Amino acid sequence: MLRYTLRRVLGAIPTLLILIALAFFMIRLAPGGPFDAERALLPEIEANLRATYHLDEPLPMQFARYLGGLVRGDFGPSFQYRDYTVTELIMTGFPVSLRIGLGAMVVALLFGVSVGSLAALRQNSRTDYTVMAMSMTGISIPNFVMAPILILIFAVYLGWLPAGGLGDGAIRNLILPVVSLALPQIAYIARLTRGSMIEVLRSPFIRTAKAQGLPQAKILLRHALKPALLPIVSYLGPATAAVITGSVVIEQIFGVPGLGRFFVQGALNRDYTLVMGVVVFYGVLIVFANLLVDLAYAWLDPKVKYA
C-alpha cells in the first residue's frame, strides 16, 4: 500500500509540471504585455516595471524562477492588487470557496446516492421514472441558469433567503450557493448510483446471497452497497473539478468573495500572475483530489493490487 501510494504521488508530478508549463508559456507567448491595458507608459517606467517583475530575463530563466517560487508557496506579486501577493489573495479567497465547495460535495453525495439507490430499488416504478426525469433535467440545466432562477424564487418572490453576499457568514447565506452548485452533481450522481446499483443487484452473487436466506436489508448493506458505490468513488475526482469550475460562476452570481471571483476579476483585468496562480493552485487541488480518489479506490477494491 505504501509503495502504491508513493508510485501514485510520483505519477502526479509530470501532470503538475505540464500544467504549470502550459499556463506559464501560454501567458508569455500571448500577444500584448500585462501593462498594455493601462495608459501608455513611458518607456523607462515600463522597463523599470519589467525589471521588477523579471520580465526582461530569458523565458526559461523566468520559468525556473516561477517554479522555485511555487515550491516555497510563493505565487509572485499581483499585477492588479499592487499591495498584495497572489499567495495572500489565494489565502483570503480559498477558505470561503472551500466552505461552499465542500458543502456542495457533501450535499451532492448524500442526496445523489440516496435518491439513486431508491430509484434502483424501485426500478421501473413511478418513483424511478420521476427520479430519472428530474435528474435528466438537473443535468441539462447549467448551474449558472439554475442559480438566478433559485434567486428569483427564494430571494425575490418568497424572500426567504438572501440573494447574495456572505453577510455575517451564517448558514442561510450559504444555502443558495451550495444548492445551485450541488444540483447538477446530485443529478449526475443519482444517475450513476442507479445504474451501478441495478447492475450489482442483478449480479449472480446477489442471487447467491438471496438463496442463502439473507434478508433484503442485509443483502443491500453488506453485499450490494460497496460494489455499487465504487463508480461513485471514481467519479469524485471529476466531480471535484466540476464543483471548482462551477464555483467560479456561482461566486460571481452570488457575489461571494471567494477564490473564483478573484479569478474572474483577474481574467477580465488581465492580472496575469493572479490568474495563473489560481489556475496552478486549482490544478494542484484537482490533481490531489484525483490522487486521493485513486488511493481510496485501491483501498476499497480488493482486486486492485498494490504491486
Partner 1 sequence: MVSAIVVGSMAVFVIVGPWFSAFSYDFTDWSNLSVAPGLEHGHYFGTDTLGRDLFVRTLYGGRISLMVGIVATIVSLAIGISYGATAGYLGGRTDHIMMRIVDILYALPFMFLVILLMVYFGRNILLIFVAIGAINWLDMARIVRGQTLSLKRREFVEAAEAQGVRTPAILRRHIVPNLLGVVAVYVTLTIPQVILVESFLSFLGLGVQEPMTSWGALVKDGAEELESAPWQLIFPATFLAATLFCFNFLGDGLRDALDPKDR
Partner 2 sequence: MSLLDVRELNVRFDTPDGEVHAVRDLSFSLARGETLGIVGESGSGKSQTVMSLIGLLADNGRADGVAELDGENLLAMSDAALRRVRGRRISMIFQDPMTSLNPYLTVADQMTQVVREHEKLSRQAARARCLELLEAVRIPEASERLDAYPHELSGGMRQRVMIAASLLLNPEILIADEPTTALDVTVQAQILDLITDLKQRFETAIILITHDLGIVAGTCDRVLVMHGGELKEHGGVRDIFYSPQHAYTRGLIAAVPRLDEARSERLAAVGAAGPAETSARAAAAAASTLLDVDDLKVYFRVQHGGLWGERRDLKAVDGMSLVLKSGETLGVVGESGCGKSTLARAIVRLVPATAGRVCLLGQDLATLDRDAMRAARRDLQVIFQDPLASLNPRMTVGDIISEPLWTHYPKLEAREVRRRVVDVLSRVGIGGRELNRYPHEFSGGQCQRIGIARALVLEPKLIVCDEPVSALDVSIQAQIVNLLMDLQAELGLALIFIAHDLAVVRHISHRVMVMYLGTAVEIADRASLYDRPSHPYTRALISSVPIPDPDKEHSRSRELLSGDLPSPISPPSGCRFRTRCRFAQARCANESPALRPLGATLVACHFAEELAADAARQ
Tell which one of 98, 121, 141, 214 touches partner 1 (CB under 8 A): 141
Tell which one of 21, 149, 170, 304 touches partner 1 (CB under 8 A): 149
Query: In this complex, which beta carbon is closest to partner 1, that of residue 100 or of residue 278?
Result: 278
Find the Cα–Cα–Cα–Cα dihedral 257, 258, 262, 265, rounded to 10°. -60
- β-bridge partners, 85: 77
What span, in angstroms and rounded, lies between the C-alpha atoms of 279 and 287? Answer: 12
Per-residue exposure over 58-74, b if at least 16 CB sit within 10 Å of its own CB, e if not? eeeebbeebeebbeeee
Per-residue exposure over 219-249, b if at least 16 CB sit within 10 Å of its own CB, e if not? bbeebbeebbbebbbbbbbebbbbbbebbbb
For residues 116 and 192, the answer to whether their CB atoms sit within 8 Å is yes
Positions in 37-66 near partner 1 (CB under 8 A): none
Q: Which stretch binds partner 1 (CB under 8 A): 50-58, 131-139, 212-220, 226-234?
A: 131-139
Report helix, strand or coil for 203. Answer: coil
Using alpha carbons only, what angle is made at residue 230 by residues 135 and 219, rounded to the nearest 5 degrees?
Answer: 90
Q: Which does 140 bind (CB under 5 to 8 A by kind): partner 1, partner 2, none?
A: partner 1
Report helix, strand or coil for 37. Answer: coil
Beta carbons within 8 Å of 237's beta carbon, 6+ residues apart? 286, 289, 290, 293, 294
Q: Looking at this protein, which amino acid is placed at residue 219?
A: I
- Does 126 help bind partner 2 (rule: CB under 8 A)? no
Tell which one of 7, 28, 54, 65 touches partner 2 (CB under 8 A): 7
Query: In this complex, which beta carbon is closest to partner 1, that of residue 10 or of residue 217?
Result: 10
Positions in 190-229 near partner 2 (CB under 8 A): 203-205, 207-215, 218, 222-223, 226-227
- Does 33 help bind partner 1 (rule: CB under 8 A)? no
- Does 264 help bind partner 1 (rule: CB under 8 A)? yes
Place of cell 426567504: 160
- Does 27 help bind partner 1 (rule: CB under 8 A)? yes
CB of 121 to partner 2, least distance (A): 12
What span, in angstroms and rounded, lies between the C-alpha atoms of 233 and 220? Answer: 18
**What is the total count of residues that contact partner 2 (CB under 8 A)?**
24
What span, in angstroms and rounded, lies between the C-alpha atoms of 293 and 302? Answer: 15
- Does 9 help bind partner 1 (rule: CB under 8 A)? no
Beta carbons within 8 Å of 29's beta carbon, 6+ residues apart? none
Q: Which does 141 bind (CB under 5 to 8 A by kind): partner 2, partner 1, none?
A: partner 1
Between 273 and 302, how does the x/- string for binding to partner 2 read (CB under 8 A)? Answer: ---------------------------xxx
Binding region for partner 2 (CB under 8 A)? 7, 203-205, 207-215, 218, 222-223, 226-227, 300-303, 305, 307
Binding region for partner 1 (CB under 8 A)? 12, 14-15, 18-19, 22-23, 26-27, 29-31, 136-137, 139-142, 144-145, 147-149, 151-152, 156, 195, 241, 244-245, 248-249, 252-253, 263-264, 267-268, 270, 275-276, 278-279, 282-283, 286-287, 290
